[in-house]
């Protein structure tokens, strides 16, 4: 085909996929081309804007390292990650909802026994979490593998602090007991901005958006016979619950962080400062 025009170029590109023997790839690539061409037509993209877009994506790629995934951050801030999460994790009524994974999980986690202080020397007010993990039928989920990770009182994850080296804190891998229960001490999470020192931060500024996420604890729960659940528990009140930079808040995921004055903590220790408790029920959907 020659003399291709702005009117027939979409069909010309789609025709090139005729020989693709992977039907799913053909469907995805075809839709990508159709929607991209339609987007360009809709906004009447100029050549300068096309180049700015290419430069933005190039900078996004160049910002990526083993520890920094700027493309995932772009996906998160454009609502793409949450859309994919919501479409692919529709659990039956009664099951705990999923939300975004985020970039700060590490596959290698410090192992901790139930009752441990996983906060280590992370700055923050003491928080005692008592999590009960059940299946949809109310049965306790014993020996579930639970990854927990969170930001500290400065709004930073351990992996964002070069001074910590390989030391990990405010994250752990724990297992529920025979009754599906898990307890740990940590620090109260606070709101924090997503990383803004790259092209995604520039995009947020240019579009008049703030980079903040409401305070939360992350959980990934894996258990035989159940769907893996990747979720957060958010803390209220929080100024960003209705404007999360990555669109991850669900009302059902707001936990009750209860404040207690100085005194005896749930683990029997004596605390000279106020502390918080969180009793959290989690319900896993069947696999």
Residue 246 or 283 having the CB closest to ligand BEZ: 246
For the chain, the first-to-last Cα distance in angstroms comes to: 49
Residue 124 interacts, among ligand BEZ, Fe ion, none and using kind-specific CB cut-offs from 5 to 8 Å, with: none
Neighbouring CB atoms inside 10 A of 228's CB total 14
The least distance separating ligand BEZ from the CB of residue 197, rounded to whole angstroms, comes to 13
191 makes contact, choosing from Fe ion, ligand BEZ, none, with CB < 5 to 8 Å by partner type, with none
Measured CA to CA in angstroms, residue 42 lies from 4, 34, 46 at distances of: 19, 12, 12
Name the residue with tokens 């980079």: 211
Q: What is the closest distance, in whole angstroms, from the C-beta atom of residue 165 to Fe ion in the complex?
A: 21
Smallest separation, CB 12 to ligand BEZ (Å): 38
> Which residues would be at the binding site for Fe ion (CB under 5 A)?
102
Is 102 or 211 the residue whose CB approaches Fe ion more closely?
102
How far apart are CB 105 and ligand BEZ at their closest, in Å? Answer: 8
Give me the least distance between CB of 261 and ligand BEZ, in Å please: 30
Nearest 10 degrees: Cα torsion 146, 151, 130, 272:
150
Region of 3 (left: φ > 0; alpha: ψ -120 to 50; beta: rest) is: left
Comparison of 180 and 191: residue with beta carbon closer to ligand BEZ: 191
CB closer to ligand BEZ out of 168 and 275: 168
Complex with Fe ion: residue 182 or 245, whichever CB lies closer: 245
Residue nearest to ligand BEZ (CB): 102
Q: Which residues bind ligand BEZ (CB under 6 A)?
A: 73, 76, 100, 102-104, 194, 213, 246
User: Per the structure block, which two tokens stand in for 216?
Assistant: 């939360």
Which residue in 278, 276, 251, 275 sits closest to 96, CA to CA? 251
What are the helix and strand counts (H, E) for the chain?
A: 6, 13
Q: Residue 17 touches which of ligand BEZ, Fe ion, none (CB < 5 to 8 A by kind)?
A: none
In a 10 Å sphere around its CB, with 0-12 CB exposed, 13-18 middle and 19+ buried, how is residue 59 labelled?
Answer: middle
Give me the least distance between CB of 198 and ligand BEZ, in Å please. 12
Cβ closer to Fe ion: 212 or 226? 212
Determine contact, residues 150/127, Cβ cutoff 8 Å: no
- Among residues 79, 97, 81, 118, the alpha carbon closest in space to that of 221 is found at 97
Binding at 180: pick from ligand BEZ, Fe ion, none (beta carbon under 5-8 Å per type): none
Residue of minimal CB distance from Fe ion?
Answer: 102
């Amino acid at each position: 085909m020659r003399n291709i025009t702005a009117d027939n170029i979409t069909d010309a590109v789609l025709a090139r996929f005729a020989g693709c023997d992977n039907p799913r790839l053909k469907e995805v690539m075809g839709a990508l081309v159709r929607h991209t061409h339609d987007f360009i037509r809709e906004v009447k993209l100029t050549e300068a804007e096309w180049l700015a877009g290419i430069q933005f994506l190039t900078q996004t790629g160049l910002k990526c390292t083993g520890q920094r995934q700027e493309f995932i951050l772009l996906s998160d801030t454009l609502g793409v990650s949450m859309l994919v999460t919501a479409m692919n994790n529709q659990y039956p009524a009664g099951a705990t909802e999923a939300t975004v994974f985020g970039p700060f999980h590490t596959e290698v986690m410090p192992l901790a026994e139930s009752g441990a202080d996983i906060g280590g020397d992370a700055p923050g007010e003491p928080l005692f979490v008592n999590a009960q993990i059940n299946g949809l039928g109310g049965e306790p989920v014993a020996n579930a593998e639970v990854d927990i990770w969170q930001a500290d009182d400065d709004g930073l994850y351990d992996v964002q602090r070069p001074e910590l080296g390989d030391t990990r804190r405010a994250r752990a891998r724990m297992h529920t007991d025979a009754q599906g229960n898990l307890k740990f001490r940590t620090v109260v999470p606070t709101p924090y901005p997503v990383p803004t020192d790259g092209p995604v931060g520039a995009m947020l500024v240019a579009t008049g958006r703030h980079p903040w996420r409401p305070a939360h604890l992350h959980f990934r729960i894996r258990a035989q016979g159940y769907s893996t659940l990747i979720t957060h528990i958010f803390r209220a009140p929080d100024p960003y619950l209705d404007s999360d930079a990555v669109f991850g808040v669900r009302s059902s995921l707001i936990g009750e962080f209860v404040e207690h004055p100085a005194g005896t903590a749930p683990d029997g220790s004596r605390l000279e400062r106020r502390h918080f408790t969180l009793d959290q029920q989690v319900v896993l959907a069947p696999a």
